[in-house]
Structure 1
Amino acid sequence: MNWGVIATWQMAHDGVVTASEMLKDGATAGDAVERLIQTVENCPDYQSVGYGGLPNEAGVLEMDAAFMDGNTFKIGGVAGIQDVTNPISVARKLSDEQFNSFRVGAGATKYASLAGFAKQNMLTKKAHDDWAERVKEVAANNLSPYDGHDTVGAVTLDTAGQMTVGTSTSGLFMKKPGRVGDSPLSGSGFYVDSEIGGASATGLGEDLMKGCLSYEIVRLMSTGLTPQAACDQAVYDFADKLAQRYGKCGAMSLIAMNKNGEWGVATNVEFTFSVANDHQGERVYLANPGPEHNTVITPMN
């Protein structure tokens, strides 16, 4: 039976290795995607997700995450959650709720506490020091404070044919308190339908939300396009349209996988990702925008 996993950024590779081993052994897509994202959330070296993530303008680490089940369309999400070890796990549990399945701010944090999720100060000394240095640089040089928005997003397919998608991020470094990007928003940051496939996004959330590109990629796959063709069409057509109408277009990179484990990627910036399926072992690739609305993909390992 087919199985597969794809995730944004090289930082997700260890998680992809773990998830692929799980999927080979018959684990569910939901368990695999949760474990993959936890691996990134738990590592303080990655300053755009989970523990060690960079804080907002006020020096507070606010995290966003989402989980979607492609069989049932169940969705759970959190935004602006604080001091919780694994936001992806909270999002997954919320997907079982018929009501109140997307919680924000203090409500999300309280829910996690009452549900028994581990609490932890997620702001490391390094992340705090980087924030303090950035505050000084912005004040001294009149710089734009914003930098860094590398969401981990992943799509998984298990041997039973179920697909899931998950996302997790600490969002834009130096964002205004309460700011939420595309990552926990269905259709923008993620979407999955086990009968078709799934997609996930990373980049500048404010621009990704304008296009609902994750849903658009899944829709295009439903018409018979390969994941790669769907990604190329959705990303480059919208990037052109946004630049024309809005005057500019921020970074946007999307990954996709269909129900057969075939995958695709499109990006308007240099972008790394990790992927594995029953036909190929775990591998990291580099993607760049090509000259003719196509994506140039080369292996990195």
Structure 2
Amino acid sequence: MTMWGTIATWRMAHDGVVDASRQLAAGGTAGDAVEALIKRVEAYEYYKSVGYGGLPNEEGEVEMDAAFMDGDTFAQGAVAGIHNVLHAVSVARALSHEHYNSFRVGAGATKYAQLQGFEMVNMLTPRAKKLWQQRLAAMRASDLSPYDGHDTVGAVTLAGNGSMATATSTSGLFMKKAGRVGDSPLSGSGFYVDSAVGGAAATGLGEDLMKGCLSYEIVRQMAAGKTPQEAADQAVYSFAETLQARYGKCGEFSLVAMNNRGEWGVATNVEFTFSVATADAAPQILIAHPAADHQTRIEPITQEWLDAYERRIKAPID
């Protein structure tokens, strides 16, 4: 049987994983599948940390970061601080075809998207604006930290012909300073893939994730012979401990990985959901828990959890 697979961060990626799995099962390319997966998340207004409906920076502007990488050629494209583009991942993929100027930021990235005919929309939805206004009011009323939420959608795909790809997309840290960029568009930190080995993608606090280049580290360890699960556990837990000891603090880390045989792994230092599908297993949502023995514990999600999740993300905002 032809082997294919895809894995992506968070429950929000599941519908995209279903779309990608159908494409891959039908012989689609890894690049097309990972782009379709990310676009499904970007377009859904109830996901507060990615794309349309994503939460804004402190000035009320939605600044998005995204990246795409081809595991066959190592071609990469990325955008950071892009505005008013429905599918930042598609802009990143288009840039991956450029040898020069393949990582564009701010006004330059937005202008490129406009000139290339990408769909432009106001990415600040009424719902997201209300959440932003509530956070401003809460900050004025108390000593509440402005920062909340940094859930990137990151995915890896393996096509039946052995090609692999990875992509990420995020609106970044809620209430971030204008121009702030996290790990998501940075090669080796937010993502990395090599079709001869495998790929990885990250989500969590970008300022700390980029200190360890964990996506590349997982791929490096897989190349040295570790399974995706062994590589993920080793990279995440060891660096989290090192960072805590030497920097004095460590944010949230969660990474997903898949090798070129369709085997996958996940490691995290917080409770973390993800979605995965392979030629051997239908798309499923799983939940990962950090473990004291540095071996991530993974179990199926419950219907009760799923129902509570749907209620939470769609709850009315006063």
User: Normalised by the shorter chain, which TM-score bucket?
Assistant: over 0.9
Q: Which amino acid aligns with 1:8?
A: T
Q: One-letter code of the match for 2:265?
A: G
> 2:227 is matched with which residue?
226
| 1:112 counterpart SS class | helix
Shift of 1:119: 0.6
Q: Does 1:114 align with 2:96?
A: no
For 1:79, give the aligned amino acid: A
Normalising by structure 1, report the TM-score.
Answer: 0.99
Structure 1 match to 2:82? 81
- Residue 135 of structure 1: how far off its partner (Å): 0.4
Residue by residue over 1:156-202, the C-alpha shift from the partner in whole angstroms, topping out at 9 and shown as x without a partner, is 00011000000000000000000000000000000000000000000
Residues 54-203 of structure 1 mapped to structure 2, 5 A cutoff: 54-203=55-204
Aligned to 2:288: 287
How many corresponding residue pairs? 301
**2:24 corresponds to which residue?**
23
Which of 139-148 and 63-72 deviates more? 139-148
* Paired amino acid for 1:73: F
**1:263 paired to 2:277:** no
Q: CA deviation at 1:134?
A: 0.2
Residues 21-42 of structure 1, C-alpha deviations (whole Å, 9 max, x = no match): 0000000000000000000000
Partner-residue secondary structure (3-state), 1:266:
strand
Give the Cα separation in 1 of the matches to 2:103 and 2:222: 27
Give, as a single letter, the amino acid of the residue that structure 1 aligns with 2:179.
G
* Alignment partners' CA distance in 1, 2:91 and 2:133: 29
Which residue is 1:46 aligned to? 47
Aligned to 2:52, the other structure's residue is in SS state: coil
How far apart are the structure 2 equivalents of 1:181 and 1:238?
18
Q: Deviations over 1:45-76 (max 9, x none)?
A: 10000000000000000000000000000000
Shift of 1:143: 1.1
CA distance in 2, matches of 1:296, 1:249: 20
Match of 2:255 in 1: 254
Q: Could you say which residue in structure 2 is the equivalent of 1:278?
A: 279
Shift of 1:294: 1.1
Return the alpha-carbon distance in structure 2 between the equivalents of residues 156 and 296 of structure 1. Answer: 23
Gaps in structure 1 of 5+ consecutive residues? none
1:247-271 per-residue CA deviation (whole Å, 9 max, x = no partner) reads 1100000000000000000000000
Displacement of 1:291 = 1.7
Partner AA of 2:219 in structure 1: V
Which position in structure 2 is the counterpart of 1:238? 239
The one-letter code sitting in structure 1 at the alignment partner of 2:160 is T
Q: Distance in 2 between matches of 1:10 and 1:85?
A: 21
Tell me, what secondary structure is at the counterpart of 1:215?
helix
Q: Does 1:33 align with 2:29?
A: no
**CA–CA separation in structure 2 for the residues paired with 1:199 and 1:291:** 23
Q: Matches of 1:3 and 1:299 in 2, distance apart?
A: 21
SS of structure 2 residue aligned to 1:99: coil
Distance 1:282 1:118 in 2: 29
**Unaligned 5+ runs, structure 2:** 303-318
